């Protein structure tokens, strides 16, 4: 982009930039399916703003290439490639210019006009950084979020806890049939050892189901349980394990 001496055009260009609103991509290319903004949309948005700030545009075609093409259906057409210089003028004669390429394929006599429209559209969109859509007001959006339970990291979820309170267990034990971690050494029990009933059930997070579950039993190797018994005072109970009381 080239500039001539003068300051008014710079002030007017910035004023235009401040006044321009978003131009959405609401037109669809029928053959390829993509959304785009047309030149008429740019004209409709910018005409009044340019008039208010007394800025106008002139165009020069710097180069033009054309070659024949044939469509898949056998129609004869023309592929146009052009180079355009657009100059933005202020009332004091100061100006800013930009050079943009244009390209179009047409099966009639409108090819060079199409290429020029493409070039002018992108000159406007790029010079004034025209956004594709406006920012939405926060009150306009309602988010439908799927309810999920976010695990809170704790010792009961990330690492088996070694019991130290004499009232931790009720005294009820059963042979272990789960491949769970030993509460004492954190090693797999491989379905051996014992299950010791907790006086107060613990809550743990099941990563597979995304749900909080209740654990009523701890799992021990036989030798690790023997060591725990030396530290614990056991209380009587007759509770049975249930299906939800699964290991990590």
DSSP calls for 160-216: PPPP--TTSEEEEEEE--S--B-TTT--B-TT-SEEEEEEEEEEEEETTTTEEEEEE
Residue 150 lies in a domain: no
pLDDT, one tens digit per residue, over 184-243 is 888 888 888 888 888 888 887 777 777 888 888 888 888 888 877 766 544 444 444 444
Residue 34 lies in a domain: yes
Residue 238 lies in a domain: no
Res 169: pLDDT: 76
Q: Are 103 and 190 contained in the same domain?
A: no
Residue 172 lies in a domain: yes
Q: Are 23 and 105 contained in the same domain?
A: yes
With a threshold of 0.85, does the pTM exceed it?
no
Residue 49 lies in a domain: yes
Confidence check: pLDDT of 118 > 80: yes
Q: Please state whether beta strands 2-3 and 95-106 pair in parallel, antiparallel, or not at all (unpaired).
A: antiparallel
Residue 110 lies in a domain: yes
Res 5: pLDDT: 52
Query: Looking at the 3D structure of the chain, how many domains does it have?
Result: 2
Residue 171's pLDDT band (cuts 50, 70, 90): confident
CA distance 6 to 91: 11
Average pLDDT of span 28-42: 78
Q: Is 72 helix (H, G, I), strand (E, B) or coil?
A: coil
CA distance 203 to 157: 9
Q: Which of 104-118, 138-152, 218-232 is least confident?
A: 138-152
User: How many C-beta atoms surround the C-beta of residue 80 within 10 A?
Assistant: 22
Q: Are 120 and 180 contained in the same domain?
A: no
Q: Are 29 and 110 contained in the same domain?
A: yes
CA distance 90 to 57: 9
Instruction: For the chain, give the mean pLDDT.
Output: 77
Residue 141 lies in a domain: no
> Does the CA dihedral 107-110-112-117 come out positive or negative?
negative
Q: Are 97 and 190 contained in the same domain?
A: no
CA distance 155 to 30: 59
Q: Are 118 and 185 contained in the same domain?
A: no
Q: Which domain holds residue 71?
A: 2-127
Res 243: pLDDT: 40
Res 165: pLDDT: 52
Confidence check: pLDDT of 104 > 50: yes
Res 60: pLDDT: 96
Q: Are 79 and 18 contained in the same domain?
A: yes
Per DSSP, what are the bridge partners of residue 61?
A: 84
Confidence check: pLDDT of 81 > 90: yes
Average pLDDT of span 141-152: 48
Cβ–Cβ under 8 Å, residues 188 and 220: no
Average pLDDT of span 121-133: 86
Element counts in the chain: helices (H) and strands (E) = 5, 9
Per DSSP, what are the bridge partners of residue 196?
A: 173, 218
Domain CATH number, residue 75? 3.30.390
Confidence check: pLDDT of 19 > 80: yes
Residue 243 lies in a domain: no
Taken as a whole, the chain contains a residue count of 248
Q: Are 76 and 188 contained in the same domain?
A: no
Q: Are 225 and 186 contained in the same domain?
A: yes
């Amino acid at each position: 982009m080239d500039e001539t001496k003068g300051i008014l055009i710079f002030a007017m260009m910035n004023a235009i930039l401040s006044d321009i609103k978003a131009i959405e991509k609401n037109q669809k290319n029928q053959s390829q399916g993509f959304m785009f903004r047309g030149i008429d949309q740019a004209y409709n948005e910018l005409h009044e703003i340019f008039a208010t700030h007394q800025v106008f545009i002139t165009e020069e075609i710097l180069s033009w290439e054309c070659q024949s093409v044939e469509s898949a259906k056998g129609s004869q057409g023309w592929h146009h490639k052009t180079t355009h210089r657009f100059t933005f003028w202020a009332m004091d004669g100061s100006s800013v210019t930009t050079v943009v390429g244009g390209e179009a394929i047409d099966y009639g006599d409108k090819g060079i006009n199409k290429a020029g429209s493409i070039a002018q559209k992108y000159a406007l969109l790029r010079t004034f950084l025209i956004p594709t859509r406006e920012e939405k007001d926060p009150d306009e959006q309602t988010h439908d979020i799927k309810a999920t339970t976010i695990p809170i990291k704790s010792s009961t979820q990330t690492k088996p806890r070694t019991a130290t309170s004499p009232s931790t267990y009720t005294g009820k034990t059963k042979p272990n049939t789960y491949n769970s971690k030993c509460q004492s050494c954190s090693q797999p029990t491989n379905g051996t050892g014992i299950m010791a009933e907790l006086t107060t059930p613990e809550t743990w997070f099941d990563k597979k189901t995304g749900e909080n579950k209740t654990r009523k039993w701890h799992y021990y190797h036989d030798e690790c349980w023997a060591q725990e018994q030396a530290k614990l005072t056991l209380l009587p109970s007759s509770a049975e394990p249930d299906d939800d009381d699964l290991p990590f």
